[in-house]
Structures are given as structure tokens and as C-alpha cells.
A and B are shown apart, each in its own frame.
Chain A
Amino acid sequence: MKTTLTFRAAVLSLFIFVMFIGVWHLATLAPKESAATQAANAEYAELMGKGAEKASGFPSPEKVGSAFVKYLSDPFYDNGPNDKGIGIQVGYSLLRVGTGFLLAMLFALPLGFVIGMSPLMTRALNPFIQILKPISPLAWMPLALYTLKDSEVSGIFVIFICSLWPMLINTAFGVAGVRRDWINVARTLEVNPLRKAFLVILPAAAPTILTGMRISMGIAWIVIVAAEMLVGGTGIGYFVWNEWNNLALPNVIFAITMIGLVGMALDLGFGTLQKFVTYRE
């Protein structure tokens, strides 16, 4: 066989996917329900009213598939607060992530530079960073809601705080680790500090900085779902929560898949950027 590894891997991936759908399909074939479960279900239906019909067992791939078709065929509709297209919801989430991430960048890159350049600052700020870093970003939420008094701003703040640490630490680490030789070249050429920062230190540290940004973005995308579940209103996280309240599991599964896909796209984007700034020695 003279096929490439990529091709064979793709075939295998496809096979795994088909198997997964097949097993899922078989597992969710309408079972012959026992009397007891039927009774329980009936009771449940009574309690839940009309919505209960959606909750009869785990949704089959067909049902989830039709949710995909329904939402993807019209991603940008807007029928009021609880009924918006998936494109709009993802858009809200991306907007929050983007804003929080950008704010974190504006803060982390210059500060990381200062910390990386100065052993004194590294030592002085290290205890604070070490204590603040492991705090779950969601733990800030009550404080944010209380002080900022706005759920939207609080959501962005949570993204800001969780994006901050990896960027800050990697920037400081990258800047501190710039090869002595390159710094010495800049020194012997009497390069002014600004030129040195932008033409020597930044490009030298860029791969490390971008790794930090990539990690930050990954965390931010994980956190936004939870934050939106808490804060509500709009966004993919709220969508999941809302569909769960409607007991519309096919929609939940659809949303989960979308979260994964968007997260992957973001990561790929940063991967590309990273390649762009990486240099070979």
C-alpha cells in the first residue's frame, strides 16, 4: 500500500466515527419498556407536562442530526431572548471571549515584559502571581457581580482574569529567557530601548508568548461556557443551559459539538499564528 499516513489516519478516523454513530444508534433504538419504567415515565410526564415527550430516553443520532440541520440551516435568526440562532449565540460568546482576551493581552504583555526584564520585579510579583493563578476564574464571579454590578461586564472580567495568567507568565518567561548573545548584540550596537524591545526581545520571545496566548484562549473558551451558564442571557453557555431546562437533549448535544468545533478552530488559528512567529535557529 502506497498511501500516505495522513490518508490512512483519515480513513481510520472516519471508520471510528461511523462505528460511534452506529453503536449510538443501536443503543438508542426504542427499547421494549418494562411496565415499571412506563409507569415512572408516565408519572414524570405528568410532572413535566408537555415537555416530557422530549425526554423519553437518550436522543438517537437521528434526532441529534435533525437538530444539527435545523440550527445550521438558519444560524442567525432572532426570535426574542430565549430563541436565537446558534450563530448569534456563538457570536455573543466569541465577543465576550475576544473582549476579555484582548483586555488581558493589553495588561499581560507590557507587565510580562517588565517582569521578564527585571529580576527584582520577578521576585516581588511572584508570590502574588502564584496565589492568584490557581484560583478558579468562576470564584471571582460574586466579587465581580458585586463590584461591577453588571452581568455582561462580569462575564468579560472572568474571561480577562483567566486569560491573564498564562499570558503573563509566558511573556515574563519568554522575555527573561532571550539569549544573552542577542541582548549583547543590541547593547554593542547601542540600540535604543524601544527598538530593542520591538526588534529583538519581542521577536525572540514571540513563540513563548504565543504559546501562552494559545493556552489562555483554550482556558477562556472553557470558562465562557460555565460563565454564561451562571450569568445567563445570551451565548453558547446560556444556550446549553436553556436547552437543558427545556429538556431538549438533542439541542444540548448539538451545542456541545459546536463548542468543541469552535474551540478547535480557535486553537488551530493560534497554532497557525505560532508557526508564523516561530524561528529556526
Chain B
Amino acid sequence: MTSHFLSVEGLAKIYPTTDGKPGTPVFEDIHFAIERGEFICIIGHSGCGKTTILNVLAGLEEASAGGAIMDDREIDGPSLDRGVVFQGHALMPWMTVLGNVAFATKSRWPEWSKAKIEEHCTTYLEMVGLGHAIHKKPAELSGGMKQRVGIARAFAIEPKMLLLDEPFGALDALTRGTIQDELLKIVRATQQTVFMITHDVDEAILLADKVILMSNGPLAKIAEIVEITMPRDRTRAEMHHDPQFYRIRNHLVDFLVNRSKGYAGSDAAQLHDAKHPPVVRPGLVSDGTPPGDNGGRPVLKQVVNQ
């Protein structure tokens, strides 16, 4: 039995190759946990299986091995308990903005009256700053506005957990910043548990409590879990004044640029315990910290759980 809100255990995914034989696993033996109210970001190079993991959590895809347990129940299919924000917004173009959110709300609370649904949806659409556009069709909105509708739709069903797949990937930096702020505000206000894929290091540092770093696929692993130790009320405008910011940022960028590729053969991989991936706090390590003496054994710097 687990005490975590969500725990992923021994997850693996194998796609068949074109001639029908099972291929190399995209990833295997993936273990991690998420606590209630936590914001988790997952970072890794394209193709390492982030979307696949998210889809397994969403119940849209089946794992080849292992599974996930949320709130003491095994995830074995899609559920209204988990709201998903899709990478390509996935709004239904024949419905208005309000219609899209109402479709979700009506699915969650079929017994609600039309007026109540409309009121509920409007609240969430106003939360993402779209109160003025509720009767527009998605085609009349900019990319950023569409993504906001997608976020409002996911929040409107008041799920136990929110899953976001590179929600801002297609947006320009300015729009992305604004929506990140909005997301942060709503998540803080609602104490929402979030699992989010991103390829933007700054975004991860701003939003996440923990960042899961994945090594390159195939056979991708969780290389590290980076705890973001900066105060939780950080803002996009202020956070880079915190000395921790650059330490964390450098650590993440270093991983993506240098360590993620050669991870398979490195010291870290030999020490790797899939069930307890190393947890690190690069933000709290001052640059002069000696590595410590472990009798010549290779050692992971900054690891707090070994």
C-alpha cells in the first residue's frame, strides 16, 4: 500500500516494430510519486517517452508493464478525475468557447441546469482572462487564447489531478509568460495537483516543486528528480534575482545538453536505482562544496536521498 497521492510503479512501454515484433522499450522500470497539491514537471529530449507516460496517467494508453495508482485506485482508463490539457489545444471547432467548456462541465455534472453550467464555465473562462470571448468560435481566437480555453476546460471539471502535455510549446515567449502566470495563479488558488511536460527550463523552474529529468530514449530512465527549493511564491519577474535560480537552471541545462545523451554508460547509471531515482537540490548547493570522500567510489553530487 502506498501513502502517496499518485505512485507510478515499474512502468514500461514497448511499441511493436513495423514487422510486428516487440521493439526496444521506449522506457522501462519507471518509478515516481506525486503528493497531493504538488506541481511536477518532466523534462527530457524529444522521443524519451514523456507523452507516453502522460497518456498512461491519463488512461488513454496502456503501459506494457507496471502501472499507476492514484488515490488508492489503479488507473485503468480515462477518468474525469484527471483533466488533460492537450498539446494541440484539441478544442472542438464547431462549438463556441463556452460550448467547449460546457461540454466538459456537462459531462462532469450531467444533472446541472443549463444556467448553472453556463455560470460555472464563465467563472473558469474569466479566470483565464477570456470572459469577453465566450461566444466566439475557436477559429476566431489566437493560439494563446485557444490554449487558455483548453486550460479552462480542464480546470472546469475540477479534477483531482491535471495533466498538461507541453501546453505552451507552440506559443510565442510573451504569450507563454502571461499564460504561465495565469496558470500559476489558478494552481495556487485551487491547490491543484499537476503533472506537466515541458521543454522550457525556465518554465519548469517557475512552476514546479519537483522536476523529473529523463535520459534519452530508447530505454529512457528517470535520471534525477530535481527539487526546486526556491520559495513557492516566486514570480516570473523576480525569480532570477534569487541566487538559487541560476544554480538550478545551470543544473537542468547541463543535464539536457551534456548528461542526458551519455547517461546510459555513465557513473550515474551504474549507481542508478530505478525505484529510488536520485533526488537533488542544486539550488541549495553553493559552488564551493567539496564532493566528499567516498573511498574512491564514484558518487553523485548533491543527492539527498542516498
* Residues of A near any B CB (own CB < 8 A): 179, 181-182, 184-185, 187-191, 195, 199-200, 203-204, 206, 277, 279-281
B221 within 8 A of A: no
Per-residue contact bits, chain B 74-95, to A (CB 8 Å; 1 contact, 0 not): 0000111011101010101110
User: A185 to chain B: which residues have CB within 8 Å?
Assistant: 84, 86, 90, 92, 104
Q: Which residues of B contact A189 (CB under 8 A)?
A: 78, 80, 103-104, 107-108, 157
**Bound CA span A62–B277, Å:** 93
Task: Give, as a whole number of angstroms, the nearest-CB distance from A18 to chain B.
Answer: 43
Nearest opposing residue in chain A for B157, CB measure: A189
B139 within 8 Å of A (CB atoms)? yes
Q: Check if B137 is an interface residue, CB within 8 A of chain A.
A: yes
Q: A184-B60, A189-B107 are in contact. List 11 more A-B contacts (CB 8 A).
A: A181-B86, A187-B78, A188-B78, A188-B82, A188-B83, A204-B94, A206-B94, A279-B139, A281-B93, A281-B138, A281-B139
Q: Is the CB of A199 within 8 A of B103?
A: yes
CA distance A189 to B59 in the complex (A): 11
- Number of B interface residues at 8 Å Cβ cutoff, please give it: 23
Residue contacts A-B, CB under 8 angstroms, 27 given: A181-B86, A181-B88, A184-B60, A184-B78, A184-B90, A185-B84, A185-B90, A185-B92, A187-B60, A187-B78, A188-B78, A188-B79, A188-B83, A189-B78, A189-B104, A190-B80, A199-B103, A200-B92, A203-B94, A204-B92, A204-B94, A279-B93, A279-B94, A279-B137, A279-B139, A280-B139, A281-B138
Shortest distance in angstroms between B151's beta carbon and chain A's nearest beta carbon?
A: 13
Q: Could you tell me if A203 and B104 are in contact, using CB atoms closer than 8 angstroms?
A: no
Assembled-state Cα–Cα distance A206/B95 (Å): 13
Q: Measured between alpha carbons, how far is A203 from B84 in the docked complex, in Å?
A: 22
How far is it, in angstroms, between the C-alpha of A68 and the C-alpha of B103 when the chains are bound? 54
The answer on a CB contact under 8 Å between B58 and A188 is yes
| Chain B residues within an 8 Å CB radius of A179 | 90
A190 to B159 Cα, complex, angstroms: 13
Nearest chain B residue, comparing its CB with the CB of A202: B94
Asked whether B94 lies within 8 Å of A190 as measured between CB atoms, the reply is no
The secondary structure that dominates the B interface is loop
Q: Which residues of B contact A (CB under 8 A)?
A: 58-60, 78-80, 82-84, 86, 88, 90, 92-94, 103-104, 107-108, 137-139, 157
Enumerate the 8 nearest inter-chain pairs by beta-carbon distance, A residue then B residue, closest first: A181-B90, A280-B139, A189-B107, A279-B93, A279-B94, A187-B78, A188-B78, A203-B94
Q: What's the least CB distance linking A238 to chain B, in Å? A: 43
For A181, A188, A189, A190, the residue with the greatest tally of chain B CB atoms inside 10 Å of its CB is A188
Residues of A within 8 A of B103 (CB): 189, 199
CA separation between A203 and B92, bound complex, in Å?
9
**Chain B residues whose CB sits within 8 angstroms of the CB of A206 once the complex forms:** 94
Contacts of B83 in A (CB 8 A): 188
